[in-house]
Amino acid sequence: MIVDSAKDQVADETVDKVDDVEEEGEDVPKDGNDASKPKKKRKRKTKAQAIAEGRAKEEVKPEPATQSEPPRVGLTKIFVDGVFPEGEICEYLNDNSYRTTSAEKKQLEKLANENPDETYQNIRRAAEVHRQVRQYAQKTIRPGMSMIEIANLIEDGTRALVEEDTSGKLQSGIGFPTGLSLNSCAAHYTPNSNDTVVLKESDIMKVDIGVHVRGKICDSAFTVHWDRNYDPLIQAVKEATNTGVREAGIDVRVGDIGAAIQEVMESYEVVVPHTDGRVGSTTYPVKAIANLTGHNITPYRIHGGKSVPIVKSHDQDKMEEGEYFAIETFGSTGRGRVVESGEVSHYALNPGIKNPPLRLETAKTLLKTIQKNFGTLPWCRRYLERTGTSRYLLALNNLVNQGIVQDYPPLYDAPGSMTAQFEHTFLLRPTCKEIVSRGEDY
């Protein structure tokens, strides 16, 4: 409650202490020195009584707001109690089935939720922002829009709904640059400020959105397309992602998850009619892109160190209790491998380098700007320019060349091929698996 005056504040404090009152017909010593008179037990007034007497104000809880279109209302104004929607809950099976009812595991979750940095409400808030922003994007994105328009549509909504922290504390904001990779480009493309690319009806676009609250990042992606010939490609990748999420769990080997993903993905094929005057069509087997993987997520770091392959492998790493993972799968009508190519837009600070020696003053200044505005979160040139930074390319290249900043060029499969992506984030809670990014759309 916002107090209008000092008088109101005093009234509230008086009520909080809860007033002492005298019983009728009894004298109570005022100075506390008259021990000869018997003291009658004093009664305490409740806050409700004080409100009824007009000596205190009734606290009025704010009414939940409703979301606007385009979405611009911060979620804390809609979920005023601070409780955000739970993701899809999946019970553990077999050797881990005991976790569902384990008192010990329930206590671990209770302790986590009492910690403001670890509470599940952080990732759920980020996930609800993701759902609302992406669902608006899905019905709004259309051929003829520029990549800049699409990026701004998504990022303006994300910043507003997550109530982006611009104080430098990085309590909430965008988790990484919005990916809008087209066709044979599978990942790591977002438009730079001079980009002039316009979305076409023949394009297949991967939309990869990141949102964070207190460093807990919700990472989820979907694919949009208008050419129905590529429906099998989209379906293959969606089903492969759902398979990976279903197979994931505590003590599961990531190599086994990759094998399950690949089996589903590569059971599909795409038939594309010839458009060059030839009769007939060409059939393309859908291939999992072997050198792209899912990953675990740690606070303020989108790639936490563990990878989840999307093809069969001998990787014996296991998923562990309490970890966050993003299962993302990529399918292609091409060779099933990507290479780096094109103009870079994505960057991130290398957290392994402390106090690097820098001779270039502009590089020192740029490094401070990066540390203040992004920390270890990934960013792009457009985000850097939003801070007021200009004429920075020489300094940025200096930081990249010294390994202080890592650049992430776009990733392309074979020219002329088409790629698709779907992705979900889930938490391996002590008692269950929670797919936090799940929505009615995918």
In sequence order, the 6+-apart residues with CB closer than 8 A to the CB of 80 are 61, 62, 63, 64
Q: Does residue 303 carry a catalytic annotation?
A: yes
Q: Of 19, 88, 118, 303, which one is the catalytic site residue? A: 303
Q: Provide DSSP, 283-324.
A: EEE-EE-TT-EEEEEBTTBS--S-EEESS------B--TT-E
Q: Does residue 295 carry a catalytic annotation?
A: yes
Nearest to 127 by CA among 430, 426, 431: 426
Alpha-carbon span 206 to 218, nearest angstrom: 16
Rg (CA), the chain: 28
Nearest to 396 by CA among 373, 428, 364: 364
Residue 20 CB coordination number (10 Å): 10
Q: How is residue 395 written in tokens?
A: 């300094």
Residue type at 20 in one-letter notation: D
In sequence order, the 6+-apart residues with CB closer than 8 A to the CB of 219 are 175, 176, 208, 210, 297, 302, 326, 328, 423, 425, 437
Q: Does residue 423 carry a catalytic annotation?
A: yes
Q: 3-state DSSP helix/strand/coil percent for the chain, to nearest 5? A: 30, 25, 45
Q: For residue 378, with 0-12 CB atoms within 10 Å meaning exposed, 13-18 middle and 19 or more buried, which class applies?
A: buried
Q: For residue 415, with 0-12 CB atoms within 10 Å meaning exposed, 13-18 middle and 19 or more buried, which class applies?
A: exposed
Q: Of 164, 239, 423, 434, which one is the catalytic site residue? A: 423
Place of tokens 């391996």: 428
Q: Of 164, 208, 239, 413, which one is the catalytic site residue? A: 208
Alpha-carbon span 415 to 396, nearest angstrom: 30
Place of tokens 């992506």: 421
Q: Does residue 201 carry a catalytic annotation?
A: no
Q: Does residue 219 carry a catalytic annotation?
A: yes
Q: Of 155, 164, 328, 434, which one is the catalytic site residue? A: 328
Nearest to 222 by CA among 201, 247, 202, 242: 242
Nearest to 219 by CA among 150, 161, 113, 294: 294
Please give the sequence-ordered ranges of beta strands (E in DSSP) within 183-309, or none if there are none.
185-187, 204-213, 216-225, 269-273, 281-285, 287-288, 293-297, 307-309
Catalytic residues: 208, 219, 295, 303, 328, 423
